[in-house]
């Protein structure tokens, strides 16, 4: 959904007025309205959307927000994924095994389960793990997605994949499973080549 349609849908659905300083989660990133000129609200975006912390730096426009959305759309399109893309916000939570530390560089498996916002409004459905044998419950921890993605930004475009999807990152490639698929297929592009412009 385009940024303007997203904002219009919010106003129409909620009946709320947009005020200066108000922030919106738009997919992975955050947008903020600034009253830099009298009677005019301007949109600002988080200038460090792949950073490890809550947004603290804002800049005019929505270029990064659009680039992030397009990166996810490209993953869906080139891997022929069906279903609805669901862009989690950087503040949503994911489960990660104890091996997924900031300096971990081995095989990374990302699986998306069911997302039930009614019982877990900040859940993303994502689990990130090393691909090892079943981990006991005490080897899983809840993290903000931003903390998991910051050391490995190449993961972010894949996080819009629908429930039931999976991606395995290994040796400069990604293997993608669509919802309900029994066989993965290599992503035609190197995931590590993606950069936020």
pLDDT in tens, the chain (197 residues): 588 888 888 788 888 788 888 888 888 999 999 988 888 889 999 999 998 887 888 999 999 999 999 999 999 999 999 988 999 999 999 999 999 998 898 999 999 999 887 778 889 999 999 998 888 999 999 999 999 999 999 999 999 999 999 999 998 899 999 998 999 999 999 999 998 87
How big is the CA angle at 113 (ends 90 and 156), to the nearest 5 degrees? 30
For the entire predicted model, the pTM comes to 0.89
Domain range annotation of the chain: 3-67, 83-193
Residues 6+ apart with CB under 8 A from 18: 7, 10, 11, 33, 41
Rg of the Cα trace of the chain? Answer: 17
**b/e code 154-180 from CB counts within 10 Å (16+ = b):** bbbbbbbbbebbbbbbeeeebbbbbee
Strand partners, 127: 95, 111
* H or E stretch at 90: none
Give the chain's end-to-end CA distance (angstroms, integer).
Answer: 20
């Amino acid at each position: 959904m385009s940024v303007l349609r997203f904002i219009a849908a919010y106003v129409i659905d909620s009946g709320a007025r947009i005020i200066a300083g108000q922030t919106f989660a738009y997919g992975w990133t955050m947008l903020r309205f600034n009253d830099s000129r009298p009677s005019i609200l301007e949109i600002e975006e988080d200038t460090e959307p792949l950073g490890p912390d809550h947004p603290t730096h804002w800049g005019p426009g929505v270029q990064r927000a659009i680039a992030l959305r397009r990166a996810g759309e490209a993953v869906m399109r080139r891997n022929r994924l069906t279903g609805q893309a669901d862009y989690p916000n950087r503040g949503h939570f994911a489960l990660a095994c104890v091996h997924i530390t900031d300096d971990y560089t081995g095989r990374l498996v990302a699986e998306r389960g069911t997302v039930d916002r009614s019982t877990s409004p900040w859940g993303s459905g994502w689990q990130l793990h090393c691909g090892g044998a079943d981990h006991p419950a005490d080897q899983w921890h809840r993290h903000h997605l931003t903390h998991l993605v910051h050391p490995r930004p190449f993961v972010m475009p894949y996080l819009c994949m629908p429930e039931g999807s999976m991606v395995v990152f290994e040796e400069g490639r990604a293997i993608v499973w669509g919802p309900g698929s029994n066989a993965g297929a290599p992503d035609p592009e190197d995931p590590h080549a993606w950069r936020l412009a």
